[in-house]
Structure 1
Amino acid sequence: MSKSLLFIPDISGFTKFVQTTEVEHSQHVISELLEVLIDANTQELELAEIEGDALFFYKEGEIPSQERLLAQMETMFTAFYSHLKLLEKNRICPCNACATAPNLQLKIVAHCGELQFIAVKGSRKPFGQQVIEAHRLLKNSIHSDNYVLVSKKLAKAIELPIYYYSKVFRFKEGRDSYDGREVEYIYALIDREKLSLNEFSQAKKVVFERPPDLILEKQFPVPASELMEYITNYKYRYEWAKGVDKFEFNENEVTRLGTEHVCVINGKHLNFITVTKEVDPGVLIYGEMTTSPPPVDALYQFFSITPISQTSCNLRSESYWEAKSLFKRLIIFLFLNRIFKKNTQQALDGLYRFITTKPLQSQF
């Protein structure tokens, strides 16, 4: 029987991350990172299982060459840290989960051997001694949470030298005992500074050279960070933004700069994207813009949240609209100003009712 590859990327710091941060946002962050790692699978590895904070891949009856295996590892590290950089640069959420996400790390364990399989409800999964060994290698004595580990058995199979080094990898020997048996491996610590991270579009701050077209303010009896969550988490929009048939958004993503969502009103789709602008220190800011609703060419709405105390804050809604033609500006002056002010006031009042009449524990 031909040897197979076992390949386990494992997100380091997950347990501490979940225990010390907001659970829902930490789950979203981990979910995004796992999807990024799955998308970075360039060697057609089979995904056997998602194991909480780890992925268990295998390649039956085949082991990629030394060059392809190292390239696969580098690709996953690059994708992982590129996404963490995106989360850091485009973050608007003040919660601990989003703030500490850049501290997460990645380790990859690779092993090989002859695989056995078991069928569970029509799903065929590898099991047996080699699977146990691969998972045990995750519990090692390496003093880092950011590395690749290749079992000596796999290193020999792909002719990977013990002290192989390149720009990204510089391998060393290691060994640990499991159930009284010593297992040898080689490992390389990964320096993220040596990775060629992928570029991403970083949203720019919107700058206006004029006052807002509409300003409304309201005080709320909740902490500023909590109000920010009610506004930026689109699953709550149904509760306070009335008149919308449906909200379409990625439920597994934390809202950040560049995030898109769609409001469906009377069958019409209004496309929004998250933006921001400069505010005073200590003020939380969320903004969104659309070019969808006529007669405006662009509509911006910003929610600035200023803490008053630990349990209260002030919400300032600012709206700007742009119209290139004189006719459009006239229509806005005659009709849109009044309608938009009414709708915005109703939304703020609805948000206040929702927050003050729903038990807190049912919301989070």
Structure 2
Amino acid sequence: MSKSLLFIPDISGFTKFVQTTEVEHSQHVISELLEVLIDANTQELELAEIEGDALFFYKEGEIPSQERLLAQIETMFTAFHSHLKLLEKNRICPCNACATAPNLQLKVVAHCGELQYIAVKGNRKPFGQQVIEAHRLLKNSIDSDNYVLISKKLAKEIGLPIYYYSKVFRFKEGKDSYDDKEVEYIYALIDREKLTLNEFAQAKKVVFDRPPDLILDKRFPVPAFELMEFITNYKYRHQWVKGVDDFEFNENEVTRLGTEHVCVINGKHLNFVTVTKEVDVGVLVYGEMTTSAPPLDALYQFYSITPISQTSCSLKSEVYWEAKSPLKKLIIFLFVRRALKKNTQQALDGLYQFINTRPLLS
């Protein structure tokens, strides 16, 4: 029987991350990272199972070459840390989960052997001693949470020297005992600074050289960070924004700069993207803009939240619009401005009503 590859990327710090931060956002962050790792699978590995904070991959009857395996490992670390960089740079949420997400790390364990399989309700996955060994290797004595570990058995199979080194990898020997059986391996700590991180679109702050076209204020009996969550988490929008048939958004994504969502009104789709602008220190700000709301060429709305006490805050809603042609400007002056003011006021009143009957945030 041909040997197979066992490959386990595991997110380090997951348990502490979930236990000490806002649960929903931490779950979203982990879901995003797991999806990033799955998308970074370049060697056509089979995904046997998602194990909370880890992915269990295997390649049946085949082991990639030394070059391909190391390239796969580097690709996953690069994708993982690139996404953490995106979360850090485009963050708008003040919660602990979003603030501490960049501290998460990744460890990868790779092993090989002849596999057995079990089928559970039609799902076939690896089973047996080699699978047990691969998972046990996650519990090791390496003094780091950001590394790759390759069993000596696999290293020998692909001809990987014990002290192999490159720009990204510098392997060392290690060993641990499991059930009185000593298992040897080689490992390399991964320095994020040595990875060539993927580029991403970093949203810029919007700058206006004029006052807002519309300003509305309201005080709310809720902490500033909690009001921010109700505004930025689109699953709550239907509770306080009326006249919208549907809100389309990625339910497994924490809202950040560049995040997109769609408002469906009378069958028309308005595409919004999250933006921001400069505010005073201590003020939370969320903004969104669209270019699909005729007759406007562009519409910007910002929510600036200023803490008053531990249980109250003030919200300032600022609306800017752009229109190039004189005809559009006339239509806006005669009709649109009044409608926007009415809709914005209704939304703030709806938000206030929702706050007073809100579910408690965990």
Deviation track 1:139-171 (CA, whole Å, cap 9, x = no partner) reads 000000000000000000001000000000000
Separation of aligned partners in 1, 2:175 and 2:128: 22
Partner of 2:173: 173
Q: How many residue pairs are counted as aligned between the two chains?
A: 362
How do 1:103-252 and structure 2 match up within 5 A?
103-252=103-252
* Counterpart residue number, 2:16: 16
The residue aligned with 2:6 is 6
CA distance in structure 1 between the aligned counterparts of 2:322 and 2:358, rounded to whole angstroms: 37
Q: Percent identity, please.
A: 88
Q: Cα deviations across residues 195-236 of structure 1 (Å, max 9, x unaligned)?
A: 000000100000000000000000000000000000000000
TM-score in terms of structure 2 length: 0.99
CA distance in 2, matches of 1:321, 1:198: 34
* Counterpart residue identity of residue 17, structure 1: F
- Alpha-carbon distance in 2 for matches of 1:36, 1:294: 36
* Separation in 2, partners of 1:19, 1:294: 46
Say yes or no: does 1:97 pair with 2:97: yes
Aligned amino acid, residue 12 of structure 1: S
Offset from partner CA, 1:257-300 (integer Å, 9 cap, x none):
00000000000000000000000000000000001111110000
* Structure 2: tracts of 5 or more residues without a match: none
SS of structure 1 residue aligned to 2:196:
coil
Give the aligned residue type for 2:89.
Answer: K
CA deviation string 1:100-127 (max 9, x = no partner): 0000000000000000000100010100
Pairing 1:29-108 to 2, within 5 Å after superposition: 29-108=29-108
AA aligned to 1:348 is L
Aligned partners of 1:149, 1:176: CA distance in 2, in Å? Answer: 12
Find the aligned partners of 2:293 and 2:66 in 1 and give their Cα distance: 55
Q: SS state of the match for residue 217, structure 1?
A: strand
Provide the secondary structure at the position in 1 that maps to 2:350: helix
Once the two structures are TM-superposed, the CA of residue 359 in structure 1 deviates from its matched residue by 3.9
**Corresponding residue of 1:343:** 343
Distance 1:208 1:328 in 2: 20
Aligned to 2:264: 264
Question: How far, CA to CA, are the matches of 1:311 and 1:96 in structure 2?
Answer: 18
CA distance in 2, matches of 1:295, 1:148: 55
Please tell me the residue identity of whatever aligns with 1:30.
Answer: I
Q: Who is 2:324 aligned against?
A: 324
Displacement of 1:357 after TM fit?
1.7
User: Which runs of at least 4 in structure 1 moved beyond 3 Å after TM superposition?
Assistant: none
Unpaired segments ≥5 residues, structure 1:
none
CA RMSD in angstroms comes to 0.6
The aligned counterpart of 1:308 is 308
What TM-score do the two structures reach when normalised by structure 1?
Answer: 0.99
State the AA in 2 paired with 1:65.
S
Amino acid at match of 2:173: E
Identify the residue that residue 295 of structure 1 maps to in structure 2.
295
Q: Distance in 2 between matches of 1:147 and 1:216?
A: 51
CA distance in 2, matches of 1:116, 1:358: 51
Q: Secondary structure at the match of 2:253?
A: coil
Give the match's secondary structure for 2:197. Answer: coil
The answer on 1:279 being equivalent to 2:279 is: yes
